[in-house]
Amino acid sequence: MATSVDAKLLRATKFPPEFNQKVDMQKVNVEVMKKWIAGKIAEILGNEDDVVIELCFNLVEGERFPDIKKMQIQLTGFLEKDTAAFCKELWKLCLSAQSNPQGVPKELLEAKKLELIQEKV
């Protein structure tokens, strides 16, 4: 799927060190991540772009061990300047999720707890 242009971009782009760690998607609760992905992409683009959201879902679910570097290159045309930050946050959440027995990133669990506490007040 990667073109020679993508290969050049992969070599030329400086990626964060987290991107060298693998994520086993079988240890990640994909439905939770899909909800986060859809929300974050809608926030970045200002609307719910189903094409971009589905593309991202396919990139995340397509392989047991997705390649976040290739994913960032493929999403750049859609998310532009926000792509690097989106991919870094996504990867940190996936790394967190695979180390949690429920497959849910602890950051999202904490955010949900805060949301529930605020609803009670």
- pLDDT, tens digit (0-9, with 9 covering 90-100), for 32-63: 999 999 999 999 999 989 999 999 999 999 99
For residue 2, the model assigns a pLDDT of 54
Q: Which of 9, 1, 80 is nearest to 41 (CA)?
A: 80
Q: How many CB atoms lie within 10 A of CB 73?
A: 22
Distance CA 98, CA 118 (A): 28
User: Structure pTM?
Assistant: 0.86
Handedness of CA 78, 43, 94, 27 (dihedral sign): negative
Q: How many angstroms separate the CA atoms of 80 and 29, rounded?
A: 27
Query: What is the pLDDT at residue 41?
Result: 97
Q: In the chain, where are the structural domains located?
A: 21-119
Is the domain spanning 21-119 CATH 3.40.1160.10? The answer is no
